[in-house]
Structure 1
Amino acid sequence: MLEALQSLYPQSNYDVFLKHDTHSLPEFSFLVHTRFHFSGNWSLPVRTPIFAAQLVGNGLRKRPTLVISTHLNFTVAAYWLKQLAGIPYWTVAHGIEAWDIERPTLQTALHHADRILAVSSYTRDRILKEQNLNPSKISILPNTVDASRFQIAAKPAYLLEQYNFQPEQAIILTVARLAEAKRHKGYDQILEALPQIRQAIPNVHYIIVGKGKDQPRIEQLIAQLELQDCVTLAGFVPDQQLCDYYNLCDVFAMPSKREGFGIVYLEALACGKPTLGGNQDGAIDALCHGELGALVNPDDVGEIAQTLIQILQGTYPNPLMYKPEALRQKVIDTFGFERFQKNLAEIIKNSPIGAEL
């Protein structure tokens, strides 16, 4: 978002406040006059109030044209700033943090936001239903994907060797954080579907990339289902290797049911991979209502199994899924950075703040 804003409005000055970071990443280039403010060196018990004080203090001193809160929890500080100095603010609603909001202070801050940028129609609809907001103040700004980082390639030889896979072996991949709160990602259902999938595709292998406190329970489930020989928990994978794992698989699958959007779907699609998601959350937006991939009932293990079998056997009734270059181009056209920037520019242009920037 910062890159898009600076491209659209290079004459503006930018102050960026980062709650948990201690420095900016060297591989990202920004306008010379961009100022970064870091709170990550403070201990966790005091970090939140110091971060909020930085926001409000700098806001009162510099009187910015607009404050954009990229996480709903930061919106409370933006609300205080608006009350004290009349400075408008926008906020971004991603997913789980935007649903079932019960904190009165956060509800108030959300209602006073000048614009809410929802990453998907699913997130927008849930906020509207739960918080009784004015629909005209919510715009949809889908997430984007770095197409230069995720590209089509052959199955990496070093990963085939590392896991003792054959090049023609059918591989299913999920990339997700293995946290107790993230069980909605759907990896349990894929594990439960594997015995049925193995009947049709005996040499199929399932890889889960990610780490978290839910791993011991997943390992127990794998043992209960006697899947030790066909499931690999790859653990944490560095960003520079993630593309290799997408290219290793034959289908990316994450039949989630509480996903605000799901950038991992875009990453897999940018690598030209057939992709499966759930039909009850933001994956609907990411997969363009089934145009870019398969949408299944995330609670129906049988449907998940049959759909993955179809995809792996080349019989799923969506020919685009088997045209890697066309699939990649479609996701770039729909969710690439240029499209993201155009979407953001249109939202700003049609808002009262547009004339001031």
Structure 2
Amino acid sequence: MQSTVGIGQTSVAPCLHFWTPGLFDFKGGIQVFSQFLLQNLQALYPQIQYDVFSMHDRDPASQRDRYLPQTKFWGQGQIPIRLRTPTFAAQIVSMGLWQRPNLVLTTHLNFTVAAHRLKQLAGVPYWTMAHGFEAWEIDRPQVRQALTNADRILAVSHYTRDRMLAGLEIDPDRIHVLPNTFGAERFQVAEKPAALLEHHGLRRDQPVILTVNRLAAGESFHSYDQILAALPQIRSAIPDVHYLIVGGGNDRQRLEKLIRAQNLQDCVTLAGFIPDEELPAYYNLCDVFAMPSKLEGFGIVYLEAMASGKPVVGGQDGAIDALDRGRLGAIVNPDDVAEIATTLTQILQQQYPNPLLYQPPALREAVVQTFGPLGFQQRLSTLMADSPLLQPLLIPSNSFS
């Protein structure tokens, strides 16, 4: 494949290997980010040959209409799970040795072990993404070594970057921040949906707190537990407040017992898993979105809620970045139940000292300007163009508008 690189000059198109846990068969934070990253790379650099290796997708090529026609997909989702990791590792290293790509970009740091081996064998440079808690405390010596030898690490938040620098002996100049983005057009300011009000037995004027989070029994901290603990204090000021938890998972049985033990059945609804296309309506249903977590590397859900014009309460983790250090929302100590209760009460009573939270169109505009697709693409372009490593590889197209 030929690509024009200068006046009167042509060369074989450079090749980028994109390694990801998945793009299509499962919806999670890393998968969503990987889609945005690949789409924006292709918007910036359409002259590149993209080879996408997906560990868990069964047939990623079936989604090729979303991507440039020269994109090649390989998926290992059809391989039994116990064999999938070694099969995937063998595939990406062997293909790397055969094709000698100009760059490997991985969207999960566990893949850096294979990338490091490929660099040792063939000198192929590699970059990796660092998302959340999987990057904060790294025990595996092979992963630690691979990260210290990565040519560049892109962290989704300053919080994740700081945690990595505290735990790894790595040059700070090689860890850059590329914040998450989101599909801003899907989330709009709108009235509370009548169908959902009826479905959940809520009044239009009834204050609603919303959390969207998977119910994972194995996690050490649950933000919804903290809000449940804060509800009695909130109810003393706002008796008809209702708490809606959206998300499925294996923690539901414990959560139901906790709700009964605290006698909160009349003011808490577990909505369970909802399809992705229904999520915007749930943001419109609430009056405040709350997820005071310790485990978020960034938290795309915060952006989605704010783009729906809703005030957001986050914890002292990657949410600090998502809420722009408090400019776009309220940051609380996730261990302080009284602070959570006071903050949620103030927001619902429109007494919290940040007027932007009560101006839905302005809040939406602010989060889109700060974290929307255009800003993400501009940051990505700067990161790619700044590297001397990539100067001969990447020639951006004029895609900003």
TM-score by length of 2: 0.87
Partner of residue 311, structure 2: 274
Q: Unaligned 5+ residue runs, structure 1?
A: none
Does the Cα contact within 8 Å between 1:176 and 1:185 map onto a contact in 2?
Answer: no
Q: Name the amino acid aligned to 1:285.
A: D
Q: What does 1:58-97 align with in structure 2 at a 5 Å threshold? A: 58-97=95-134
Q: What does 1:280-291 align with in structure 2 at a 5 Å threshold? A: 280-291=316-327
Does the Cα contact within 8 Å between 1:66 and 1:89 map onto a contact in 2?
Answer: yes
Q: What does 1:228-243 align with in structure 2 at a 5 Å threshold? A: 228-243=265-280
Pairing 1:247–2:265 present: no
Q: Determine helix, strand or coil for the equivalent of 1:184.
A: coil
Pairing 1:170–2:210 present: no
Aligned mates of 1:241, 1:182 — CA distance in 2: 26
For residues 117-137 of structure 1, the C-alpha deviation after alignment (integer angstroms, 9 at most, x for no partner) is: 000001000100101211000
1:28 deviates by 6.1
For residues 85-125 of structure 1, the C-alpha deviation after alignment (integer angstroms, 9 at most, x for no partner) is: 00000000001110110101111111110000000001000
Aligned mates of 1:182, 1:269 — CA distance in 2: 26
Aligned mates of 1:27, 1:173 — CA distance in 2: 35
Partner of residue 155, structure 1: 192
Aligned mates of 1:352, 1:35 — CA distance in 2: 27
Relative to structure 2, which stretch is displaced further, 207-216 or 166-175? 207-216
Does the Cα contact within 8 Å between 1:185 and 1:259 map onto a contact in 2?
Answer: no
Partner of residue 4, structure 1: 40
Q: Name which of 220, 226, 229 aligns with 2:257.
A: 220
1:182 deviates by 3.6
Partner of residue 382, structure 2: 346
1:215 deviates by 1.2
Q: Name which of 309, 315, 321 aligns with 2:345.
A: 309
Does the Cα contact within 8 Å between 1:193 and 1:301 map onto a contact in 2?
Answer: yes
Pairing 1:49–2:86 present: yes
Q: Name the amino acid aligned to 1:110.
A: L
Partner of residue 29, structure 1: 66
1:184 deviates by 2.7
Partner of residue 331, structure 1: 367
> How large is the RMSD of aligned CA atoms in angstroms?
1.2
TM-score by length of 1: 0.98
Q: What does 1:66-145 align with in structure 2 at a 5 Å threshold? A: 66-145=103-182
Aligned mates of 1:3, 1:330 — CA distance in 2: 23
Pairing 1:196–2:272 present: no
Aligned mates of 1:82, 1:155 — CA distance in 2: 53
Q: Determine helix, strand or coil for the equivalent of 1:173.
A: strand
Q: Name the amino acid aligned to 1:257.
A: K
Aligned mates of 2:371, 2:100 — CA distance in 1: 33
Percent identity over the alignment is 60
Aligned residues: 356
1:145 deviates by 1.0
* Pair 183,171 (structure 1): closer, same or farther in 2 beyond 3 Å: farther
Pairing 1:208–2:249 present: no
Structure 1 segments of 4 or more deviating over 6 A? none
For residues 232-272 of structure 1, the C-alpha deviation after alignment (integer angstroms, 9 at most, x for no partner) is: 11110100001111110000000011211111100101111
For residues 207-236 of structure 1, the C-alpha deviation after alignment (integer angstroms, 9 at most, x for no partner) is: 111111111111111111100011011110
Pairing 1:40–2:56 present: no
Does the Cα contact within 8 Å between 2:64 and 2:71 map onto a contact in 1?
Answer: no
Q: Name the amino acid aligned to 2:291.
A: M
* Pair 137,334 (structure 1): closer, same or farther in 2 beyond 3 Å: same
Aligned mates of 2:305, 2:382 — CA distance in 1: 27
Q: Determine helix, strand or coil for the equivalent of 1:56.
A: helix
Q: Determine helix, strand or coil for the equivalent of 2:209.
A: strand
1:23 deviates by 2.3
